[in-house]
Amino acid sequence: MKSGTLRGAILSSTSILRPALSTIAAIVGALVAGAMILISIGFNPGEVYYTVFHEAWYTEFGIRKVLIETLPLLIIASGLLVCFRAGLWNVGVQGQMIVGGLFANVVGYVLGPLPSLLIIPLMLMAGMVGGMLWVLPSAVMKARWDLNEIVTTLMMNFIAIDLELYLVKGPLRDPKISTHPMTTPVVATAELPKIPGTQVHIGLLIALGLSVVIYLLMSRTALGYQFRVLGFNINAARYAGLPISRLIVMSLLVSAATGGLAGAVQVAGVMRNIDPEWVPFYGFEAFPLVFLANFNALAIIPFSFLFSSFLVGGDLMHRAVGLPIFFIDVLLGLMLIFFGAAEAVRHLQLKWRRRKG
Amino acid sequence: MSEVIDPIIVMFLTFFFGSMLRSATPILLTALGETYGESAGVLNLGAEGMMLIAAFTAFVAGVTANSVLVGLLAGMGTGMLVGLIVAFLVVTLQADQIVVGVGFDIAAVGLTSLGLRVIYGTAQLPLLPPRETINIAPLSSIPIVGALFDQPFMVYLAILLVPIFYYGLYRTRFGLKVRTLGENPMVADTAGVNVFLLRYVILLLVGAMAGLAGTYLSLFQVSFFRDNMTQGRGFIAIGVTMFARWNPVNVLFASLLYGGAESLAGGVQALGFLRTIPNEVVLMLPYIFTIAGLVALARRARLPPALARPYRREL
């Protein structure tokens, strides 16, 4: 009886603290390890970290840029959450984003005469379709033949980059821009309008809405529950009679649709057209975010903001302090490693305590 | 013979055979290590990061000491060091192998690009003279396929390792232990195998091989370091390992398939052969081949049951 209540007490206390502790450990661990790297290459960590957040949060240019850069991270991370929860690792968001962006770009000038209210939703949908098309082979190969989706989705990134180069230099090149190969820009009516009174486009509202939708999908619907069962234990899912293949394909499609949507939002809200050099790295940067948010779609909102602050602040810090922005990728990678370590340590601790109790 | 064929075709084929082995080598080296890793139940998704960091340290050490040997030892040592860190995380702490692996891949891109700028700034990168090739005398003078026998030393090393790795995995007690570990770690444990120690050893080997592959990329295939120069080769090696079904001999053939695709792409680009096909489409070939290889050969391949699972002694 006594040991039973003790165990209960430990379990309940850890279940409240668990998410927060690993996340805090990951961020603190990465910042400390990052500080050691900075000292070893002759930078002052205090100055670097201060500058990153000062530039990101205390300048008007910084905070606007942080909000804009939050979007792709938030959209991508919301989608990744779904497939990660289902136990599938889509590392091909980069390619899905590129293809989604290309699709949206084409729709945004081919359907130019349409009014904004029609063309904008069509562009965003085109982006999602592009993203989904790009994951479909990997999803089907995973569902039918159990081919590792990590390998195939990653290969599709490189294929997408080459496809982009080919299309932007060839068939989609705007003949009116002669200096540099670029696609034809989307028409003015296809650009995402600004949220009234701000400098931020309505993509922010779309992204926030998306994370709420994903939150409800995962916590309140049968489909979300089935995804979680699949991710928890594929054998359990099989015994429960769940349609495994369909769930695999669907979860990857959701994550790719958001990848494509992120590409479309970048085109419609920020870039207007595509440069052959455009190789977004958000797919990898969003990866640690999903873990730090402990697979909670609402928690992804503040973490996207935090990650965006790192990226934007890091970029601006580069100009101020002279430290290359690549340091930020080191930090994000370290966060993921420290998160993995922290979760593992908590696991071991819990078991050790249970055995004693 | 060569006078009846169009000289451009002869040049193209000579280039193709010569560069096929060179393109296959980094994949082969990494995949040989991964074969042991995956057979022992360790899915090392950090291979890409290991290769990239090793390519970087090999380049820096090689240029600084003006010695390829120093670069080689540095690259291999770096790979082993990363392997040791990964082993601590996934074997001792039992952390999730996918999370840790992807974390290393992201951190490696940042670390190497950062390091390159910190060390060399915006100045021109120093260059090492290109590696001498070793030609196997009578064979290398055969037209066209002779190019196969005029390669840098690392290429021969990689091929020589194939039978050794095959023998080690399928004909020795050590190999049996490794495979038992991937099948059922509890059986291995009961039979007196030190599961934890063996997985450490395996990850050191995996790291050493990825380190060699990275070294090859920056010191042998070219003589410089470029941002993210691995270009997905670590992941390709993981794919190759899977479609070779953990058999080192098949790994050789699968790597050659990839190498053939890459050198085809390179040859078409270099010689302006087949101008009707756009360059970018040709550059997709290695990736398409990797996927096609997986579909053709790894459909319903039986994965080692303990793959990517930490081993815990249950009481």
Asked if residues A178 and A286 have their Cβ atoms less than 8 Å apart, the reply is no
Give the pair of three-digit tokens for residue B170: 């399928």
pLDDT of residue A166: 92
* C-alpha atoms less than 13 angstroms from C-alpha of A15 in its C-beta half-sphere: 6
Residue A225 has pLDDT above 80, yes or no: yes
CA dihedral A294, A295, A300, A304 (to 10 degrees): 80
Residue A259 has pLDDT above 80, yes or no: yes
Phi then psi dihedrals of residue B199, to 5 deg:
-65, -35
Q: Which of residues 119-138 of A touch B (CB under 8 A)?
A: 137
DSSP at A270: I
What is the average pLDDT value for chain B, to the nearest integer?
88
CA B177 to CA B39: how far, in whole Å? 10
Q: What percent of chain A shows pLDDT beyond 70? A: 94
pLDDT band at A8; cut points 50, 70, 90: very low
* Residues of chain A neighbouring B93 (CB-CB closer than 8 A): 341, 344-345, 348
**Contact A158/B231, CB-based, under 8 Å?**
yes
Pairing of strands B150-151, B134-135: antiparallel
* Residues of chain A neighbouring B108 (CB-CB closer than 8 A): 333
Residue B314 has pLDDT above 70, yes or no: no
Average pLDDT (A17-30) is 85
Number of other CB atoms surrounding residue A16 within 10 Å: 9
The answer to whether residue B298 neighbours chain A at the CB level (below 8 Å) is yes
The answer to whether residue B242 neighbours chain A at the CB level (below 8 Å) is yes
pLDDT band at B301; cut points 50, 70, 90: low
Per DSSP, what are the bridge partners of residue B151? B134
pLDDT band at B313; cut points 50, 70, 90: low
Residue B164 has pLDDT above 90, yes or no: yes
Nearest alpha-carbon partner for A280 in A300, A266, A261, A301: A266
* Residues of chain A neighbouring B109 (CB-CB closer than 8 A): 284, 326, 329, 333
Question: Can you tell me whether residue A213 is helix, strand or coil?
Answer: helix
- Give the tens place of pLDDT for each residue, B45-99: 999 999 999 999 999 999 999 889 999 999 999 999 999 999 999 999 999 999 9
pLDDT band at A43; cut points 50, 70, 90: very high
Phi then psi dihedrals of residue A353, to 5 deg:
-65, -40
Residue corresponding to tokens 């979860």: A251
CA dihedral A34, A36, A42, A44 (to 10 degrees): 70
Residues in contact with B168: Cβ distance below 8 Å, sequence separation at least 6, in sequence order = B36, B174, B175
pLDDT of residue B274: 63
Instruction: Give DSSP secondary structure letters for A93-104.
Output: HHHHHHHHHHHH
Question: Can you tell me whether residue B282 is helix, strand or coil?
Answer: helix
Instruction: Count how many residues are written for chain A.
Output: 357
Shortest alpha-carbon distance between residue A198 and chain B (Å)? 34
pLDDT of residue A76: 97
Residues in contact with B140: Cβ distance below 8 Å, sequence separation at least 6, in sequence order = B146, B147, B149, B150
Which value, in Å, is the radius of gyration of the alpha carbons in chain B?
20
Give, to the nearest 10 degrees, the angle between helix B68-87 and helix B195-215.
Answer: 150
Per DSSP, what are the bridge partners of residue A352? none
Which value, in Å, is the radius of gyration of the alpha carbons in chain A?
22
Give the pair of three-digit tokens for residue A284: 């990898």
CA A15 to CA B307: how far, in whole Å? 28
Listed by start position, the domains of chain B span: 7-122+156-298
pLDDT, greater one: B132 or B101 = B101
Q: Which of residues 178-197 of B touch A (CB under 8 A)?
A: none
pLDDT of residue A352: 82
Residues in contact with B199: Cβ distance below 8 Å, sequence separation at least 6, in sequence order = B40, B41, B42, B87, B91, B181, B311
pLDDT band at B151; cut points 50, 70, 90: confident
Pick from A307, A326, A343, A345 the residue to mutate for testing the B interface (most B CBs within 10 Å). Answer: A326
Question: Can you tell me whether residue B151 is helix, strand or coil?
Answer: strand
Phi then psi dihedrals of residue A148, to 5 deg:
-55, 115
- Give the tens place of pLDDT for each residue, A192-215: 998 888 888 999 999 999 999 999
Least confident span in A15-24, A49-58, A181-190, B125-134: A15-24
Least confident span in A5-9, A187-191, A258-262, B87-91: A5-9
Least confident span in A67-81, B70-84, B127-141: B127-141
Shortest alpha-carbon distance between residue A98 and chain B (Å)? 15
Asked if residues B50 and B103 have their Cβ atoms less than 8 Å apart, the reply is no
Instruction: Count how many residues are written for chain B.
Output: 315
Fold of the domain spanning B7-122+156-298: ABC transporter involved in vitamin B12 uptake, BtuC (1.10.3470)
Query: Exposure string (b/e) for B268-287, b if CB count within 10 Å is 16 or more?
Result: beeeebeeeebebbbbbbbb
Among the partner-chain residues B102, B231, B303, the one whose CB lies closest to the CB of A336 is: B102
Average pLDDT (B279-300) is 83
* Residues of chain A neighbouring B102 (CB-CB closer than 8 A): 89, 91, 284, 287, 336
What is the average pLDDT value for chain A, to the nearest integer?
90
Q: Which of residues 68-97 of A touch B (CB under 8 A)?
A: 89, 91
Residues in contact with B215: Cβ distance below 8 Å, sequence separation at least 6, in sequence order = B54, B55, B58, B71, B72, B74, B75, B76, B154
Residue A14 has pLDDT above 50, yes or no: no
CA B183 to CA B179: how far, in whole Å? 6
pLDDT, greater one: B235 or B127 = B235
Nearest alpha-carbon partner for B223 in B306, B152, B308: B152
Asked if residues A90 and A263 have their Cβ atoms less than 8 Å apart, the reply is no
CA B212 to CA B77: how far, in whole Å? 9
**Contact B93/A341, CB-based, under 8 Å?**
yes
Instruction: Identify how many contiguous H helices and E strands chain B contains and give both numbers.
Output: 12, 2
- DSSP element (H, E) containing B135: strand B134-135
pLDDT of residue A244: 94
pLDDT band at B35; cut points 50, 70, 90: very high
Give ∠ CA B19-B24-B28 in degrees, rounded to 5. 155
pLDDT band at B272; cut points 50, 70, 90: low
In chain A, the N- to C-terminal Cα span, in Å, equals: 11
Question: Can you tell me whether residue B294 is helix, strand or coil?
Answer: helix
pLDDT of residue B4: 63
Q: In chain A, where does DSSP find H-type helix?
A: 2-40, 45-57, 60-85, 93-110, 116-145, 149-169, 203-220, 222-232, 234-239, 244-266, 282-292, 300-321, 326-356
Question: Environment class of residue A40 by beta-carbon count within 10 Å: exposed (0-12), middle (13-18) or buried (19+)?
Answer: exposed
Residue corresponding to tokens 């290393």: B104
Q: Which of residues 280-339 of A touch B (CB under 8 A)?
A: 284-285, 287-288, 291, 324, 326-337, 339
pLDDT band at A28; cut points 50, 70, 90: very high
Residues in contact with A345: Cβ distance below 8 Å, sequence separation at least 6, in sequence order = B93
pLDDT band at B139; cut points 50, 70, 90: confident
pLDDT of residue B2: 47
Question: Environment class of residue A5 by beta-carbon count within 10 Å: exposed (0-12), middle (13-18) or buried (19+)?
Answer: exposed
The answer to whether residue B94 neighbours chain A at the CB level (below 8 Å) is yes
Least confident span in A56-65, A160-169, B141-150, B246-255: B141-150
